[in-house]
C-alpha cells in the first residue's frame, strides 16, 4: 500500500460507490495518492475496513483473504502525543490509576457511517522489555475518566498490570490513535 498507484480504476458504474477504491495519505496539508491493495480496483469503498494499530500502521481488509498493512513514509504526528505520570515500580497482577493527558486522541480514528467503526480513542498501555529479545506486553485499561476526543485536560485510566509479565525492567508507553508517548522506564 505504498508508492504511486499503478492500476486502472474499474469501469464507471451508475453508483460512485462501485467504481473502485482509491487510497490517499494526508500529509497535514494535502492528500497524496498512494498505491492501493491488489483488490482495490474492484472494491467498492464500503468493502474496506481499516484499523489503526498501536504501531501507527494501518491494517486493511476488504472481506477477502488478503490482509494488508500500511506504513507511512512520513514522520509520526506528535501534536497528540499522550503524556503520563508513571510510577517507577509496578507490581504484576495489580491495578493502578494512571494519570496524564491526551488519553483519548484527536478523533475516534476509524468509521464508515453506521456500517463499521473501529474507534481507537482510548489509551493502550504497552510494556517493552529493555533486555533482548525486547518482548512486548499490553495491559488492560478501563474505567477511563473521559472518552471525549480532542480533550486536552487532565485525565486518568485504570491499568491492570498483567500477572504473567516477567519481573524486570521495561519501557512503558501510552498509545492512542497509533501515537505513542515517550518511554517511561519502570521496574516490575
pLDDT at 146 over 70: yes
pLDDT at 38: 83
* Window from 9-18, 42-51, 141-150 with minimum mean pLDDT: 9-18
- CA 86 vs CA 8, 39, 83, 181, 187: distances in Å: 51, 44, 9, 11, 11
**C-alpha of 19 from chain center:** 28
Record the pTM.
0.76
Give pLDDT tens digits for 89-137: 999 999 999 999 999 887 777 766 666 677 777 899 999 999 999 999 9
Mean of pLDDT values over 47-71? 82
Mean of pLDDT values over 27-47? 82
CATH number of 83-187: 2.60.40
pLDDT at 18: 61
Grid cell, residue 139, equals: 495491559
Helix, strand, coil percent content, the chain, rounded in steps of 5: 5, 35, 60
Phi, psi of 46 (to 5 degrees): -80, -5
pLDDT at 17: 58
pLDDT at 170 over 80: yes
pLDDT at 79 over 90: no
pLDDT at 154: 93
User: Cell match 478523533: residue?
Assistant: 107
Residue 10 pLDDT level (bands cut at 50, 70, 90): very low
Give domain limits for the chain. 16-70, 83-187
Amino acid at each position: 500500500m505504498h508508492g504511486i498507484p499503478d492500476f486502472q480504476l474499474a469501469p464507471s458504474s451508475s453508483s460512485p460507490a462501485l467504481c473502485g477504491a482509491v487510497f490517499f495519505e494526508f500529509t497535514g496539508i494535502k492528500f497524496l495518492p498512494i498505491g492501493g491493495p491488489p483488490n482495490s480496483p474492484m472494491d467498492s469503498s464500503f468493502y474496506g475496513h481499516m484499523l489503526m494499530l498501536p504501531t501507527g500502521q494501518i491494517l486493511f481488509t476488504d472481506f477477502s483473504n488478503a490482509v494488508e498493512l500500511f506504513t507511512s513514509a512520513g514522520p509520526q504526528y506528535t501534536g497528540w502525543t499522550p503524556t503520563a505520570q508513571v510510577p517507577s515500580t509496578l507490581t504484576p497482577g495489580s491495578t493502578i490509576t494512571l494519570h496524564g493527558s491526551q488519553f483519548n486522541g484527536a478523533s475516534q480514528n476509524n468509521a464508515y457511517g453506521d456500517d463499521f467503526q473501529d474507534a481507537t480513542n482510548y489509551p493502550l498501555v504497552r510494556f517493552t522489555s529493555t533486555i533482548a529479545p525486547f518482548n512486548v506486553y499490553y495491559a488492560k485499561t478501563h474505567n477511563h475518566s473521559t472518552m471525549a476526543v480532542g480533550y486536552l485536560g487532565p485525565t486518568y485510566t485504570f491499568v491492570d498490570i498483567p500477572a504473567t509479565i516477567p519481573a524486570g525492567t521495561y519501557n512503558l508507553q501510552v498509545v492512542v490513535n497509533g501515537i505513542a508517548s515517550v518511554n517511561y522506564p519502570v521496574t516490575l
